[in-house]
Structure 1
Amino acid sequence: MADSTNTFDLLDINLKKWIYKKGWHDLLPIQKASIKPILDKKNDLIISASTASGKTEAAFLPALTAINADPKKKGIRILYISPLKALINDQFRRLEEITEDIKIKVTPWHGDISANRKHKLEQSPEGVILTTPESLESLLINRVGWLRESTQNLDYFIIDEFHAFMGTQRGYQLQSQLNRLDNLAGHRVVRIALSATFSDVNAVKSYLRPGSNVKCELITGSKDQKDTLSVQIRGYDLTPEEGELETIKNQTLPKEYDQVAKDIFRFLRGSTNLVFCNSRFLTEAISTELQKLSQKNFVPNEFFPHHGSLSKDLRESLEARLQEGRLPTTAICTATLELGIDISDVASIAQIEPPMSVASMRQRLGRAGRRDHIAVLRLFIPEYTQSTQLLKTQLCEDTFLSVAMINLLLQRWYEPPMEHEYAFSTLLQQTLSVIASFGSVSAKNLYELLCKYGPFSICTPEIFMKFLKDLGEKDLIVQLNDKSLTLGLEGEKLVSNWNFYASFKTPDEYTIENDNRKIGTVPLNQPISIDDTFLFAGRGWKVVY
């Protein structure tokens, strides 16, 4: 067996040339450790390390070496799955550079990619595809024949930000999709998961291939590396006047949040930072206030919003500015920048109000301190100090929660994913999806694919039969004369809606346009009428039609 001192020699010669051109003197420990097991293709693999620790290269350098060693094999050879389109776009740029000399085609495939580009891949499937679970669901329903033909020589699944999928409906969807693709390809495809660190990394093995005896190897980052965390918590007294709590519900921030914006302007201007908010509304309100402060002080604006409702162009222009690093830039963002694009020089991470979880805080902090291993966290915590709930006032609940989460973070404790769940909503989606793929399927084959050998293993045959009976009563499925199941009228309506591809609920939205250019969307649950004004993309807008 090759040891870590000579595994570098196992890589493709053109990939070694790329490494030399990058000026790397050596591979990182996790990159060395991953080469042999990935080339062997015997076991699944989880590569767990902190953000910016070389996980992408650890997976792709040996995987690309393996597929380039046998170029006569046609079709898709590597399927990369990411939770975010922004991360796919970032990885595409990196992989284009890596594969320049080995001539392996890399194709991003998601909702923002042109139909022409997708058509070219359909005509000649090859190389690496980068996609999301939602786009993969669409392929499984609408292009199942093409998938079967193009995945016969599929070697690897590479799942990025694996921790973001675990224990979620989207995670069960992905587990089911990988099992279905194994079935289509006619062989077991090696699964490689890239993930942030876990408090108990051994406990996550079963999530990668549930209910299987396939061995899963773990490669973890160095525990010797010492990172430093600098923390500042700033509190703000919120003393709402009579009726002001009602205005907060109606999407108006208390006046004390102006001081939060002033402090962000004072501390962060002139450097690159990420400021996380727990809602799109707060993101827009704070970024708008910061832009007003820039105008008032006659300085260039450095503060820009980033969230999922903004148009692709607006999001990508800010992402490009962050990556280039030429100008000081602070993104006021939701979780959209918690994962994803590689930003190398983030001075600090800020959070307005407590983060949603310790795991989320850990992921966000991983975006800073990449060069000197010193991460800076600034927490801006407004508190209602005159609450009618006396205990809540005395505790300063949000400050107490923030301190407790930092304490748990220092102890390397993160919320574990739910171990067992029926996940009936995702089982429903996958049941209809499989039926839609093939036209009709027997109940026995459905159970074996989704439950017996799939992720819904705690669903017994008895429960599954009751489940199918309920679907039949709702006209989601009907039984044919040969006893196989096909979609009912309501099932066809459901599957034909593009929202069906997502395992989570997506709200109905207004599209916002200015000068015939889409700038984003807002949910329909916020009533908008002619002459209404609202904040969006860091600016004020008025509805004209």
Structure 2
Amino acid sequence: MNIFDRYAPFVQDFIYRNNWEALRAIQVAAGDAVFNTDDNVLLSASTASGKTEAAFFPILTLFSEDMPKSVGAIYIGPLKALINDQFLRLNDLCREADIPVWHWHGDVAQSHKNRLLKNPSGILQITPESLEALLLHKHSYIGRLFGDLRFVVIDEVHSLMRGDRGGQTLCLIERLAKLAGVNPRRIGLSATIGDLETTGKFLSSGTGRRTVIPRIEARGVRWRLSMEHFYVQGPQSARDQEIPEALPVLDMKTDDAPASADPGIGYIFEHTRGKKCLVFVNSREECETVTTTLRQYCEAKHEPDRFLIHHGNLSASYRETAEAVMKDEEQFQTTVTTATLELGIDIGRLERAFQIDAPFTVSSFLQRMGRTGRRDLPPEMWFVIREEMPESRAMLPVTVPWKLIQGIALVQLYLQERWVEPPKLDRLPFSLLYHQTMCTLASCGELSPAALASRVLPLSYFHRITPEDYKILLRHLIATEHIEKTEQGGLIVGLAGERQTSSFKFYAVFKENEEYTCRCQSQELGTIVMPPPVGEKIALAGHVWIVEEVDHKRHLVYCEQVRGKVPAYFGECPGDINTKVLERMREVLREGAAYPYLMKNAVARLAEARHSAACSGMTEEPLICLGGDMWCLFPWLGTYAFLALERFIKLKCAPQLGLSGLDSSRPYFIQFKMKAPKEEFFRVLAEMEKQPLDPMELVYPGEVPLFEKYDEFLPAELVKKGFAYGILGIDEMKMRIRSWNKV
């Protein structure tokens, strides 16, 4: 029997109604794995390839044959917007079979949630944070809600493997399964997985099952890709140069912009007119600045405002408005967004995506470009790289356009090698260990130390945590009153712990800044960090507001809309770049290849950068003298290996080399003053690399490096250990030093 014939009649009807002529390869493979094995399944295929349907067609067929007596499947999505989108899609599919679809997150009405609690059934769509809240506050309901749970579908599984959030998701599934007495099959979905085998093992952790990974031959897809470079002020790189226009089929000019405009933003302004587009940026601050500027251009040109905004600090109403407008086939508006619209939300027939500067990962580039190219259109992305023009006498390293080189490297890594970042699963997740310990105690009530350890330590994500480390943590939490010891010797949540677990912000393990909610009269605008004094201005929701009152006790800011342009207040937005990206950046500067997607300014700027690199020798020699005793080191290492090298030089080598004034631009270069010659620098590094190195030696004296959300509640020794052994890329650093010694 083929897979289509195996589907339930209502699934077949759905396929007919949507005029599908044949099942896609991913749907056939998923059906075979779900119907004919009892294994977990990892489905990796391009964006818009039908992965969600591939997972749910066989699941719903099995449900129609034997309806679960509780919630039968949980769908875990990383974003509320993705949950909302999939809720509508699944409802269409399930309505005829009378299989309820529930969604549960912070913006869902309590009445909807109450109906699920009274009648646990069908499919539950939920974020990791809301599932944590459910386990914490509805502990006694878990058996009834999930006693016949058969599947857990994890969407965009790659996005949950970048840190503690993926670990939390695994812990939640394991805790829920143990409480409900079930062992559901797991199905992971993703378009951008760098290491399928490792991801498959991660998906199966704690289940006792293997993971089936269907190998789907990707059909060739034609990309419409361009990359242009702009100086924010001054003449552009290609001025007065004879450079052939790249990609003439796209008919792109690079000089269309409102008078006196920032040329890069003006370029976006002109090329979004009459089209439905997304503009991706790498931070919420930039999202606000770009949206405000584009709206000012509309005003200057007497055009109606056609720009929307979408990021995590906006209120739900602003985000949902942008999503609804983008789904409307009749409207041609552009949304400026961060990663919040990067993942699987179907927002209709998008014609074009823009990316301001380079994203940090190949995965992010693919996800963002994958927002376009649906409904039989080719994926289309325009990179817009902006930089301040270097001063006329500027030297290395500021003469290198790092973002342009990074953008080219990301594209080439995928085009030539189909490479995507592998997951990093070898950290020491002490912050998450604190979180899961407190969640377990808060939901279960009093537990003996042994009973608590037996519930937390066996969770598969904590395989690197030793019982001794856990004892150190518990003793510290008792001493700091996060945990209290009862007269009977049991453990309960203490006063300090109660302040954490009683807050809705406790459900999330990703780091959040202290935020203030901004309001204009009764309308909630969103949140900011570090509000300015009364009378100052803030940027939020693509507009400018003047602060009229700040209520620090209730974390509220009252404001009125005004005109103008100011920076936003959201805190930092660091990026994690893989070593392979940096190594490919070196090759971009070293090779003479032409890239057909580069536009005329980018071609000229790359030629300048290659000339500068060749004259200096920076791609062949890692250490370059900038003049006198000023030096610049180009390690070509990713973020965490770069961090290790920076500390290794400072703490182990600097005294012997007379090194001072070390200044890093992570992860591109390190500048410093040095009295020793170049040969001595490499000799000392090689000598010190051969010495035994305890990673703890790379923690600065008195430093407690707080990286994760709950690090501040951990004993200092565990924070240092987690940073030294779980974050610093010491092995990569050592390999790079050894390679320098061979040259």
Q: Same fold (TM over 0.5)?
A: yes
Paired letter, 1:367? R
SS of the equivalent of 2:266 reads helix
Paired letter, 1:471? L
Work out whether 1:45 is the aligned partner of 2:53: no
- Structure 1 residue aligned with 2:220: 225
In the superposition, relative to structure 1, how do residues 66 and 336 fare at CA in structure 2: closer, same or farther (>3 Å)? Answer: same
The runs of at least 4 consecutive aligned structure 1 residues that moved more than 6 Å come to: none
Shift of the alpha carbon at 1:458? 1.0
Q: Could you tell which deviates more after superposition, 326-335 or 405-414?
A: 405-414
Instruction: Give the alignment partner of residue 55 of structure 1, picking from 51, 54, 60.
Output: 51
Q: Give ranges in structure 1 of 5+ residues lacking alignment.
A: 240-254
Paired letter, 1:530? V
Instruction: Give the alignment partner of residue 325 of structure 1, picking from 317, 322, 329.
Output: 329
Instruction: Give the alignment partner of residue 91 of structure 1, picking from 79, 86, 98.
Output: 86
Shift of the alpha carbon at 1:14? 1.2
**Counterpart-to-counterpart distance in 1, 2:37 and 2:168:** 24
Query: Which whole-Å deviations, capped at 9, do the CAs of 1:334-380 have from their partners, x for residues lacking one?
Result: 11111141023222221112212221111111112234463222222
Paired letter, 2:55? A
**Counterpart-to-counterpart distance in 2, 1:502 and 1:85:** 13
Work out whether 1:258 is the aligned partner of 2:231: no
In the superposition, relative to structure 1, how do residues 504 and 453 fare at CA in structure 2: closer, same or farther (>3 Å)? Answer: closer
**Counterpart-to-counterpart distance in 2, 1:74 and 1:296:** 61
Shift of the alpha carbon at 1:470? 2.1
Q: State how 1:343-382 maps to structure 2 within 5 Å.
A: 343-372=347-376, 374-382=378-386
Paired letter, 1:413? W
**Counterpart-to-counterpart distance in 2, 1:455 and 1:325:** 44
- Structure 2 residue aligned with 1:506: 512
Paired letter, 1:56? T
Work out whether 1:268 is the aligned partner of 2:272: yes
- Structure 2 residue aligned with 1:145: 140
SS of the equivalent of 2:383 reads strand
In the superposition, relative to structure 1, how do residues 221 and 324 fare at CA in structure 2: closer, same or farther (>3 Å)? Answer: farther
Could you tell me whether the CA contact under 8 Å between 2:223 and 2:379 is conserved in 1? Answer: yes
**Counterpart-to-counterpart distance in 2, 1:538 and 1:343:** 20
Shift of the alpha carbon at 1:301? 2.3
Could you tell me whether the CA contact under 8 Å between 1:226 and 1:373 is conserved in 2? Answer: no
Query: Which whole-Å deviations, capped at 9, do the CAs of 1:236-292 have from their partners, x for residues lacking one?
Result: 2558xxxxxxxxxxxxxxx99722221111122111111111222221221122122
Could you tell me whether the CA contact under 8 Å between 1:448 and 1:454 is conserved in 2? Answer: no
**Counterpart-to-counterpart distance in 1, 2:324 and 2:215:** 30
**Counterpart-to-counterpart distance in 2, 1:351 and 1:256:** 22
- Structure 1 residue aligned with 2:338: 334
Work out whether 1:465 is the aligned partner of 2:498: no
Paired letter, 2:343? L
Instruction: Give the alignment partner of residue 454 of structure 1, picking from 440, 451, 460.
Output: 460
SS of the equivalent of 1:278 reads coil
Paired letter, 1:391? L
Work out whether 1:177 is the aligned partner of 2:177: no
Instruction: Give the alignment partner of residue 391 of structure 1, picking from 377, 391, 396.
Output: 396
Query: Which whole-Å deviations, capped at 9, do the CAs of 1:491-521 have from their partners, x for residues lacking one?
Result: 2222112111110222222222224121222
**Counterpart-to-counterpart distance in 1, 2:284 and 2:261:** 15
Could you tell me whether the CA contact under 8 Å between 1:435 and 1:486 is conserved in 2? Answer: yes
Q: Under a length normalisation based on structure 1, what TM-score does the superposition of the two structures give?
A: 0.91
Could you tell me whether the CA contact under 8 Å between 2:192 and 2:366 is conserved in 1? Answer: no
**Counterpart-to-counterpart distance in 2, 1:256 and 1:129:** 52
**Counterpart-to-counterpart distance in 2, 1:538 and 1:409:** 34
Work out whether 1:407 is the aligned partner of 2:412: yes
Query: Which whole-Å deviations, capped at 9, do the CAs of 1:196-234 have from their partners, x for residues lacking one?
Result: 132331221111132554110112443233332422222
Could you tell me whether the CA contact under 8 Å between 1:238 and 1:256 is conserved in 2? Answer: no
Q: Could you tell which deviates more after superposition, 381-390 or 424-433?
A: 381-390
Shift of the alpha carbon at 1:417? 1.7
Q: Which of the pair has the greater relative contact order for Cα pairs under 8 Å at 6+ separation?
A: 1
Could you tell me whether the CA contact under 8 Å between 2:281 and 2:355 is conserved in 1? Answer: yes
Shift of the alpha carbon at 1:70? 1.5
Could you tell me whether the CA contact under 8 Å between 1:175 and 1:209 is conserved in 2? Answer: no
Query: Which whole-Å deviations, capped at 9, do the CAs of 1:145-168 have from their partners, x for residues lacking one?
Result: 101221111111111110000141
**Counterpart-to-counterpart distance in 2, 1:373 and 1:448:** 53
SS of the equivalent of 1:380 reads strand
Q: Could you tell which deviates more after superposition, 324-333 or 386-395?
A: 386-395
In the superposition, relative to structure 1, how do residues 270 and 216 fare at CA in structure 2: closer, same or farther (>3 Å)? Answer: same
- Structure 1 residue aligned with 2:569: none
Query: Which whole-Å deviations, capped at 9, do the CAs of 1:116-143 have from their partners, x for residues lacking one?
Result: 1111211222111111111111111110
- Structure 2 residue aligned with 1:277: 281
Q: Under a length normalisation based on structure 2, what TM-score does the superposition of the two structures give?
A: 0.68
**Counterpart-to-counterpart distance in 2, 1:456 and 1:167:** 16
Q: Could you tell which deviates more after superposition, 267-276 or 478-487?
A: 478-487
In the superposition, relative to structure 1, how do residues 74 and 372 fare at CA in structure 2: closer, same or farther (>3 Å)? Answer: closer
Shift of the alpha carbon at 1:59? 0.8
Paired letter, 2:12? K
SS of the equivalent of 2:95 reads coil
In the superposition, relative to structure 1, how do residues 256 and 62 fare at CA in structure 2: closer, same or farther (>3 Å)? Answer: farther
Paired letter, 2:13? K
- Structure 2 residue aligned with 1:533: 537
**Counterpart-to-counterpart distance in 1, 2:410 and 2:274:** 29
- Structure 1 residue aligned with 2:131: 136
Query: Which whole-Å deviations, capped at 9, do the CAs of 1:450-505 have from their partners, x for residues lacking one?
Result: 33342111112222222222222222223345543222222222211211111022
**Counterpart-to-counterpart distance in 2, 1:237 and 1:522:** 27
- Structure 1 residue aligned with 2:629: none
Q: State how 1:149-298 maps to structure 2 within 5 Å.
A: 149-210=144-205, 213-237=208-232, 258-298=262-302
Paired letter, 2:30? S
Could you tell me whether the CA contact under 8 Å between 2:230 and 2:264 is conserved in 1? Answer: no
SS of the equivalent of 2:461 reads coil
Instruction: Give the alignment partner of residue 64 of structure 2, picking from 68, 74, 82.
Output: 68
Q: Could you tell which deviates more after superposition, 210-219 or 156-165?
A: 210-219
- Structure 1 residue aligned with 2:425: 419
SS of the equivalent of 1:158 reads strand
- Structure 2 residue aligned with 1:247: none
Paired letter, 2:386? P
In the superposition, relative to structure 1, how do residues 167 and 347 fare at CA in structure 2: closer, same or farther (>3 Å)? Answer: same
**Counterpart-to-counterpart distance in 2, 1:450 and 1:269:** 54
**Counterpart-to-counterpart distance in 1, 2:445 and 2:191:** 40
Shift of the alpha carbon at 1:407? 1.5
**Counterpart-to-counterpart distance in 1, 2:183 and 2:297:** 57
Could you tell me whether the CA contact under 8 Å between 1:384 and 1:393 is conserved in 2? Answer: no
Shift of the alpha carbon at 1:419? 2.6
Could you tell me whether the CA contact under 8 Å between 1:347 and 1:376 is conserved in 2? Answer: yes
- Structure 2 residue aligned with 1:249: none
**Counterpart-to-counterpart distance in 1, 2:533 and 2:484:** 43
Paired letter, 1:261? I
Q: Give ranges in structure 2 of 5+ residues lacking alignment.
A: 235-258, 550-743
| Aligned-residue RMSD, C-alpha | 2.1
Quick one: percent identity of the two aligned structures? Answer: 35
Work out whether 1:13 is the aligned partner of 2:18: no
